[in-house]
Chains A and B, each alone.
Chain A
Amino acid sequence: MAHPVQTEAEVVESTPVGAYRRLVLRAPEAAPRVRPGHFATLAVGGSGSSMLLRRAFSIHRADPAAGTVELIIAEHGPGTRELVRSRVGDRLSLIAPLGTPFPVPEGPVSALLVAGGYGSAPLFGLAEQIKRRGGQVGFILGAATGARLFGVEQARALTQDVLVVTEDGSAGLTGRVTDVLAQAIKAIDATVVHACGPMPMLRAVTSIAEELGARCWTAVEESMACGVGICMTCVLPVVGEDGVSRFVRSCTDGPVFDGAKVRWADIGIVPADLEGAAAMGVKA
């Protein structure tokens, strides 16, 4: 896990991007530590806020020279609504970087980067890293509507292999990322897939990638109370290196997991073969 920094970060830019809000925060100690896939949390309101739980966001970009960290925020409820309304000059309690980054192979690889909605935020920095090491990338960017896509132009600046898919057909092809995934993996001979988005999408992407023999790294979105590994709320069942399945924290053991090790079908239950399930009275 990354060594996080907790800081009162000044908002230096706040701009709308489609359905989202891009916040640039001054965090000179945190910025150099950020790798693609890391996430950050923001507290909502001041020290007396009635919304206690920090909100987690994947880090879109970090600029060590400028000492800034960029987050993409989607408005989901009262907490994110307040964060979206922050103004330049406001100070927000930021903790970053958190979690595990995407693993990047040393040598050149062909990687397909797949995102649902603003799940694409961390993938552009990852694409740059892969390309710097002599690899090539393709993108599939999907969303419910065109306004909920993020980073199509950034993706096109990185590669000509960009597929855009929307459920309502308002941009690109009509459908879901999984409709075009197999074809895209084959088209660029991808040996690795990096995916970020809602759980059902990650599950489907993992399954298609596995069938085609591609390694699939997934950045999960579990709801978290703390983001730093102390509350134990963001767990999901994952097969360990010893072959034993356990509830592990998506904040410190993830958010990036080998998709093949995540027991997607068992999220939301206690499977009987999970370590410690017997103590919960779960029987096979």
Chain B
Amino acid sequence: MEPQQVDLTAPFGGRTLPNPLTTASGCAGYGRELAKFVPLDELGSVTTKTIMPYPRSGRATPRMAETPSGMLNSIGLQGAGVGHFVRNELPWLAERGARVLVSVAGERLEEFAEVAEQLNGQPGVIGIEVNISCPNVADRGLVFACNPATSYDVVRAVRRVADAELPVYAKLSPDVTSITEIAAACVQAGADGLSMINTTLGLAIDPVTMRPALAGTTGGLSGPAIRPIAVRCVHQVHAEMLAGRIPAVPILAMGGLRTGLDALEFALAGASGVAVGTTLFNDPAAPLRILDELRTELAARGFAKFTDAVGYAHRPATT
């Protein structure tokens, strides 16, 4: 099979996207800067930086430290708020033909719903990703995604106000005892899909100052260093779905995706979509390269369609 014959289309909610690739939230801003390197309409979708109801300055600097095959960040959800996003950013994205998955968050339950509600009927929006797992909120002890009950409440509140045709994805943290338990709670609350994983909490010490390298002390670890954790989470949750213990919903995978082979690995583990994040900092033109590589990797293994590879690692052992 020739790579160009491979069908990369991927279902998303009620629609079909040209391919399964999106950007990971917080790694592509609102798309404007990335558009200088990649035509946004050639991505399956564009996932925005997390949107909150009001402007947020984010944390003090230093906000970043490089680590082996990754980085720690402590941005703290800097943003101008949903009003600015809807007025100034979304129309620009829609004009360029971008299909936009909007990441939303709040400090409280009501704030998640408040942002989601303002996205109804807006141009370009194809879905909502509920960021219940950002480790950079003010009270780090209370990440919603660390508790099945709070995860359930937030997802339910967003699902209730969001337009019925907009799929609602819950973004999960790997920093939990049982990711399948949280996944189950989100699906029961009405999540149409699961995004996994957010960054995992880490810390680096500056050898010169001999204090934590980040102003926020801890930060979220991202990059290829965490890819095996992400693949494990996807595989575990997909396995529970196959076993019927969690209702089957699509999984959008992110965590250290760098190549087409990495995208294939996520698909084999059970992901119906994949997102490129920290890799964009190293190679902003990566999305088109990754799609080309993915076609090649699928063709080399005889997959005519991307969707045929989803969950393939779970097939029964043959003799």
Contact = CB atoms under 8 A, between A and B. Distances in A.
B195 interface: no
B70 interface: yes
A53 B71 contact: yes
A50 B58 CA distance: 28
Interface in B41-83: 49, 52, 54-64, 66, 68-71, 73, 75-76, 78-81
A274 B282 contact: no
A229 B29 contact: yes
Contacts of B32: 229
Nearest to A51: B66
A258 interface: no
Contacts of A228: 33-34, 36-37, 284
Interface in A196-242: 222-223, 225-226, 228-236
A276 B61 contact: no
B142 interface: no
A52 interface: yes
Contacts of B70: 52
A102 to B, nearest CB: 22
B281 interface: yes
A63 B33 CA distance: 26
Given A53-B66, A54-B281, A269-B60, A280 B27 contact: no
Given A43-B282, A235-B63, A230 B34 contact: yes
Given A6-B37, A225-B281, A233 B29 contact: no
A247 B58 contact: yes
A15 to B, nearest CB: 27
Contacts of A232: 26, 29, 49, 58, 63, 75, 78
Nearest to B78: A232
A90 interface: no
B292 interface: no
Contact of A275 (B26, B57, B66): B57
A280 B284 contact: no
B283 interface: yes
Contact of A226 (B69, B215, B224, B281): B281
Contacts, number: 130
A222 B60 CA distance: 13
Contact of A93 (B27, B64, B76, B283): B283
Interface string A44-62: 0001001111100000000
B7 to A, nearest CB: 26
Given A6-B285, A235-B58, A267-B61, A230 B280 contact: yes
B57 A274 contact: yes
A6 to B, nearest CB: 5
B124 interface: no
A230 B29 contact: yes
A225 B73 CA distance: 10
B103 interface: no
B78 to A, nearest CB: 5
A247 B57 contact: yes
Interface residues of A, number: 41
B269 interface: no
A107 interface: no
A3 B36 CA distance: 7
A78 to B, nearest CB: 9
A270 B57 contact: yes
A280 B63 contact: no
B278 interface: yes
Contacts of A280: 56-59, 76, 138
A52 B73 contact: no
A83 to B, nearest CB: 14
A246 interface: yes
A207 B83 CA distance: 37
A226 B280 contact: yes
A162 to B, nearest CB: 33
A4 interface: yes
Given A225-B73, A276-B55, A95 B284 contact: yes
Given A226-B281, A230-B284, A268-B215, A246 B61 contact: no
Contacts of A50: 68-69, 224
B28 interface: yes
A275 B84 CA distance: 13
B63 A275 contact: no
A281 interface: yes
B135 interface: no
Nearest to A4: B36
B20 interface: no
Instruction: Give the one of A222, A230, A281, A282 with max B CB within 10 A.
Output: A230
Interface of A: 3-4, 6, 43, 47, 50-54, 79, 93, 95, 222-223, 225-226, 228-236, 246-247, 252, 267-270, 274-277, 279-282
17 contacts: A52-B223, A54-B281, A222-B61, A230-B280, A230-B284, A231-B64, A231-B73, A231-B281, A232-B58, A233-B61, A233-B62, A233-B63, A233-B73, A276-B55, A276-B80, A280-B58, A280-B59
Given A6-B284, A269-B60, A279-B107, 16 more contacts: A4-B36, A6-B37, A47-B283, A52-B71, A52-B223, A53-B282, A54-B281, A223-B61, A226-B280, A229-B33, A231-B64, A231-B281, A233-B61, A233-B63, A247-B78, A277-B57
Please provide the 5 A-B residue pairs with the shortest distance between their CB atoms, ordered closest to farther: A276-B57, A229-B33, A233-B64, A226-B281, A276-B55
